[in-house]
Amino acid sequence: MSDATRGSELSEQVESDDTVLLFVGGPLDGRVEVRPARHGDPLPTVTHVHLHDGPKVVSRYDLQELPGAAGVYHLRTPARRRDRDEAAG
């Protein structure tokens, strides 16, 4: 499916007060969601938990609002954990 086709399908699904949200980075990279206006404003942070055969992977996305009814969720960079040696010293 071409980008033009996806764009026209998306515009047909979006009501005038709905918000279009794009995810950048991490496991949700490239995902586009339409948040209906009846659900209120988008959350400032979204947490995505991916469960698989290994340990769970938790990703957090922070909202950057754009003009109009749009926003971009950017993957939050993980905080650097201090090594035990650093914490003891």
Per-residue pLDDT at 80: 72
Nearest to 20 by CA among 4, 34, 31: 34
Q: State the virtual CA torsion across 26, 30, 34, 40 in degrees, nearest 10.
A: 30
Section 9-31 average pLDDT: 82
Query: What pLDDT shows up at residue 54?
Result: 83
More confident residue, 79 or 32: 32
What is the residue type of 41?
Answer: D
Q: Which of 18, 23, 35 is nearest to 63 (CA)?
A: 23
pLDDT at 2: 52
pLDDT value of position 16: 75
pTM, two decimal places = 0.70
Q: What per-residue confidence (pLDDT) applies to 31?
A: 97
Residue 17's nearest CA partner among 44, 36, 39, 43 is 36
